[in-house]
Structures are given as structure tokens and as C-alpha cells.
């Protein structure tokens, strides 16, 4: 018996030793591969340059969400599209045995590490300044004007440049210090979306570098599958290096109005009526306000009450209120006619009369309003904090049920950041793109734009806010509301499959065609690059 056991042990030890040797060989081979990567990358012919210093790597590993930090191996500062092509092509030719992945980083406004590449390569798209911005106007007015811009250009820069020609893009995001490629990879929504659709509905052409290093010019008519796939495609099929954005005549002024509701049904009914009307406001958004003290006094800093006496008697303390925010674009010579039109619209709404506030600002100041808040928050050290945002798209038929539970029970106050709620028209979205939206003709964006105090264990702390977000999502799932996340973030492919639903097979097919090694946008955590030892 002792002999048999001894023989068994010897066999086991031999097997164990072989396994250790095999694993050691793999580790050695992997380490040799890793150690050779920097020199391999340095061999790529570039007009720009690669950065390997710790400051650059740490910067690329941070984003607005301020919750995930994954250092890349290198950061590319491209000067031309050919730099991006050469880099992707180099990594593509390394084959599936290389662990390297690539993330395109714009202004770093991702929330959960979506533009990071752990141990991979981050492309700083803001350094890509070509092609230079070019504005085109058809003298015969047979086609709308447009601007050709780099994928790394900021929307605020596009606004300033196009205004020199009396033009501007039609659809915006609330925050303009974002890159074109970044917002078009998601959708780009704001208060103009009900009329013009998201930003991805206002693009005519794209130049894309795919995951194999191929450059393709595409539009709805030319390479249409890639064109629609990249729009809202979360960076999975290619990097946007150029975009053609539709323009329209720009106003000079904006009449900006805020009113309050205590009745949620009246609030949503008025919003839905406004977004369905032929002639209405140019921007419509809503906010949820829970237990805010002295709300109207805060408004007085920027807005004027129609009835100052009645407004001074209004109390917001302890109440759940709903703010309807509207804007009418106008030029100086149109002020009287625009004011009359605004009054007609307001006369049909059911807001609390004493809460009507308005102001007139320049078009630029209105569109760049969030940046003004950013400057104030930065001065107080309140900008670079965790931002556990939650953005949901909710069918119109379920919005009352959602509001009763979430605003009535789960949320106790809204002092940690604004809660946006406004409807959009599905008819303004192109169902060929990669964005997943609810099935109904009207659906709501509800955005919980919270900021967490890093050291707090209270209701303004990160853990409390994340727990609150989880409760909201669990309710949506349990009640089967048909909710879809905007700027989604999941940890498993099974969750991504559920998110995309019937669109998953199309998404998967596009990935296999345009990025077959899963090199691009690893921070989305949809696909994982395979590592083999052949």
C-alpha cells in the first residue's frame, strides 16, 4: 500500500512540476512580450508622439466620473489621422496574442472608465486638429449648410466658429466642452432633441478608422452599415476622426423661462403638448426638485419673477416640485413678436402662476450655461469629485408609475445634483443606429446627475448614492417598465445582451466585421480581447 501511494505521489509530483513549468513558460513568454511592447510601439512612424511618462498615463486614467482609474501603457498624441491609422494597424498586425487594446479619449467626460484602456493605449483625440474646421454654405440654398470638423473638436469651439457665419448646429448637449467623437458615440441629447433629434440625427458624413486600421468615409448612402453602427456605437466599431455636422441660421438672443408645478400629471401633460406642437419653444427640459429651501430666491440671481410679491410668498421647503424650463430663440428685431408668441404658449400651461421667472441672454451664454456653473464649482473644489450619474430612457406610458415610486419613495431630496426629466419624440431618432431606445413614440430622459462628497458616509456620500441608483434600477426591472439606460454601463456580456435585446445580433455582427480582435473601446466592457499563446 505504501508503495502504491508513493507511486501515486511521484506521478502527482511529476504532473504538478510539469504544470508549474508550463505556466512558468507562459509567464516568461508573456513578460518577454510585455517588455518588448514599448520598443515595438516606439517603432511606429508618427507625425505626433507617444507618451510613456507617469503624469500622462495618470491623466488618461481619470475621467469625470472619478471612480475608475486604469493606467494605460502609453498615450498617443496624434497630429494626423495617419497617426491613428498607423497605431491601430500596428496593434492589429500583432494579432490576438497581444494584450494591447485602444481607447479614444476626448475631453475625459466618461462616467465609468469607458475611455480608459488598462495596460493598453489611449489616443488623446483633442490633439487631433486636422482637418481644420470648414463651413460650407450652398449659395442656391438647395441643401442645408454644414461644417466639417475633427472628431476631437470641442462643441464649444464649433459654436464660436460657426457663429462667425451666422450659423450653428441644430442639436446640442447641455455641456459643450465635449468632443464630437465622444457625443456621437453615445447620442448627444439636450432640450432641442424633441425637435431635431439627438446629435447623431444631425450628421451627414463620418470618417472612421476601424479596428483593423482601415480608413472609411461613410454616410447613410455610402458604407451605411458602418455609418449607422458607429453613431451611438460606444466606440466599438471605429474611431471617429472627422464628422460633417448640419447647421442652421443662429439666433442672437434667447428668452429663457422657468415655471414650477406641484402636480406631476399636469407637468408631463404640458411637456408632451409642447413637444408635439408645430410651433413651440426651441428648447424644453424639466427638473425634479425635492425638499429645496428658498428655491425662488436662488432663481432671482439670474431670473426675474413676473410677480415679485407673489414669488416672495412661495415656499418650496419640504415639497416635491417639478420645474419646466423653456427657451425661445430670437433676434433683436423679433423681440416683440417672440414675446407675444411666448405669452400664447404660456397661457395654455397649468403651472403655478406665482412661479413664472424669465430672463434674456445671448445665444452663447444660454448654450454654455453649464460651463458657467463648472467654473464656480471648480473654484470651490467641488468639480473633481465622484459623479455616480444614472441616465434612463423611460416609455411615456410608464413615467407616472416611475415618478410615484422614485420621486415619492426612493428619492428624499435633490441637493446632491439636478434630476432632469423631459420627453422626446422617437420619430426624430434613426432606428438604424446603435442606440437602444424604448419602443413608444414618446419617451422620457430621466437623468440623476449627482455629485458625491468623497469623505462622506451620509446621504451625499458615494455609497449612499450608488445604493439609491441600484434601488431605482431594481424597481425598473421588477416593475418591467421597459426602461433603457443611456450612457449604459454593465459588467457582463449577458447584461449587454439584455440591454441591446433584438439589436444584439446586429451589434455583434458589426463588431466581428469592423473590430474582429476587439481592440477598440475596452473600457465599455462589452467585449474582451482574447489572449492566445500560439
Residues recognised as catalytic = 109, 174, 285
β pairing state of 283-290 and 238-249: unpaired
The whole-angstrom separation of Cα 88 and Cα 178 is 23
The whole-angstrom separation of Cα 230 and Cα 210 is 10
Nearest to 451 by CA among 466, 471, 439: 466
The whole-angstrom separation of Cα 145 and Cα 147 is 7
Lookup: cell for 173: 448637449
**How crowded is the C-beta side of 174, counted as CA atoms within 13 Å?**
16
Instruction: Give helix 493-500 / helix 504-514 axis angle, nearest 10°.
Output: 120
C-beta of residue 208 within 8 angstroms of C-beta of residue 81: no
- 104: Cα separation from own chain's centroid: 14
C-beta of residue 355 within 8 angstroms of C-beta of residue 314: yes
78: helix, strand or coil? coil
**Tell me, what DSSP letter sits at residue 250?**
P
* Through-space distance between the first and last CA atoms of the chain, rounded to whole angstroms: 43
Which residues, in sequence order, are bridge partners of residue 442? Answer: 425
C-beta of residue 169 within 8 angstroms of C-beta of residue 162: yes
| 221 contact partners, CB below 8 Å, separation of at least 6 | none
Strand locations in 53-98 (E): 74-77
**Tell me, what DSSP letter sits at residue 454?**
T
3-state SS, one letter per residue, for 156-221: HHHHHHHHCCCEEECCCCCCCCCEHHHHHCCCCCCCCHHHHCCHHHHEEEEEEEECCCCEEEEECC
Nearest to 325 by CA among 348, 347, 354, 355: 355
C-beta of residue 358 within 8 angstroms of C-beta of residue 307: no
The whole-angstrom separation of Cα 101 and Cα 221 is 31
Q: How many residues does the chain have?
A: 534
| 342 contact partners, CB below 8 Å, separation of at least 6 | 255, 257, 281, 328
R_g over Cα of the chain = 26
* Helix/strand number for the chain, H first, E second: 17, 19
| 348 contact partners, CB below 8 Å, separation of at least 6 | 270, 273
Amino acid at each position: 500500500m505504501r508503495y502504491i501511494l508513493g507511486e501515486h505521489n511521484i506521478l502527482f509530483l511529476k504532473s504538478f512540476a510539469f504544470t508549474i513549468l508550463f505556466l512558468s513558460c507562459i509567464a516568461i513568454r508573456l513578460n518577454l512580450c510585455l517588455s518588448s511592447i514599448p520598443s515595438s510601439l516606439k517603432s511606429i512612424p508618427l507625425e505626433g508622439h507617444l507618451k510613456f511618462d507617469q503624469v500622462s498615463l495618470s491623466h488618461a486614467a481619470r475621467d469625470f466620473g472619478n471612480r475608475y482609474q486604469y493606467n494605460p501603457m502609453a498615450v498617443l498624441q496624434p497630429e494626423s489621422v495617419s497617426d491613428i491609422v498607423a497605431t491601430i494597424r500596428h496593434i492589429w498586425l500583432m494579432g490576438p496574442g497581444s494584450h494591447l487594446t485602444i481607447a479614444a479619449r476626448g475631453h475625459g467626460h466618461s462616467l465609468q472608465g469607458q475611455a480608459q484602456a488598462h495596460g493598453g493605449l489611449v489616443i488623446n483625440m483633442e490633439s487631433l486638429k486636422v482637418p481644420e474646421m470648414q463651413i460650407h454654405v450652398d449659395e442656391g440654398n438647395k441643401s442645408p449648410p454644414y461644417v466639417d470638423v475633427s472628431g476631437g473638436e470641442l462643441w464649444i469651439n464649433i459654436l464660436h466658429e460657426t457663429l462667425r457665419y451666422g450659423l450653428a448646429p441644430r442639436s446640442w448637449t447641455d455641456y459643450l466642452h465635449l468632443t464630437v467623437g465622444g457625443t456621437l458615440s453615445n447620442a448627444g441629447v439636450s432640450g432641442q432633441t424633441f425637435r431635431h433629434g439627438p446629435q447623431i440625427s444631425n450628421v451627414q458624413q463620418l470618417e472612421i478608422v476601424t479596428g483593423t486600421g482601415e480608413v472609411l468615409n461613410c454616410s447613410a448612402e455610402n458604407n451605411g452599415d458602418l455609418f449607422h453602427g458607429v453613431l451611438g456605437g460606444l466606440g466599438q466599431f471605429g474611431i471617429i476622426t472627422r464628422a460633417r455636422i448640419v447647421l442652421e441660421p443662429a439666433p442672437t438672443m434667447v428668452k429663457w423661462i422657468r415655471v414650477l408645478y406641484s402636480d406631476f400629471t399636469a407637468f408631463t401633460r404640458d411637456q408632451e403638448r409642447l413637444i408635439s406642437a408645430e410651433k413651440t419653444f426651441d428648447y424644453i427640459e424639466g427638473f425634479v426638485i425635492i425638499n429645496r429651501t428658498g428655491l425662488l430666491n436662488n432663481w432671482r440671481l439670474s431670473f426675474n419673477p413676473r410677480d415679485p410679491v407673489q414669488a416672495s410668498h412661495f415656499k418650496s421647503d419640504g415639497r416635491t416640485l417639478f420645474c419646466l424650463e423653456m427657451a425661445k430663440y430670437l433676434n433683436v428685431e423679433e423681440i416683440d413678436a417672440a414675446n407675444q408668441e411666448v405669452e400664447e404658449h404660456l397661457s395654455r400651461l397649468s403651472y403655478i402662476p406665482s412661479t413664472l421667472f424669465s430672463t434674456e441672454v445671448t445665444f452663447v451664454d444660454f448654450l454654455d450655461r453649464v460651463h458657467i456653473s463648472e467654473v464656480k464649482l471648480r473654484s470651490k473644489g467641488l468639480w473633481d469629485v465622484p459623479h455616480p450619474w444614472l441616465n434612463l430612457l423611460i416609455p411615456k406610458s410608464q413615467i407616472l408609475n416611475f415618478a410615484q415610486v422614485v420621486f415619492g419613495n426612493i428619492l428624499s431630496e435633490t441637493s446632491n445634483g439636478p434630476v432632469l426629466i423631459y420627453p422626446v419624440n422617437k420619430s426624430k431618432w434613426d432606428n438604424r443606429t446603435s442606440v437602444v431606445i424604448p419602443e413608444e413614440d414618446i419617451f422620457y430622459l430621466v437623468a440623476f446627475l449627482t455629485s458625491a462628497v468623497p469623505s462622506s458616509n451620509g446621504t451625499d456620500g458615494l455609497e449612499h448614492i450608488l445604493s439609491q441608483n441600484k434601488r431605482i434600477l431594481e424597481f425598473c426591472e421588477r416593475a418591467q417598465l421597459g426602461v433603457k439606460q443611456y450612457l449604459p454601463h454593465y459588467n457582463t456580456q449577458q447584461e449587454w445582451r439584455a440591454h441591446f435585446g433584438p439589436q444584439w445580433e446586429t451589434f455583434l455582427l458589426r463588431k466581428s466585421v469592423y473590430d474582429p480582435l476587439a481592440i477598440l473601446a475596452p473600457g465599455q466592457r462589452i467585449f474582451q480581447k482574447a489572449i492566445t499563446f500560439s
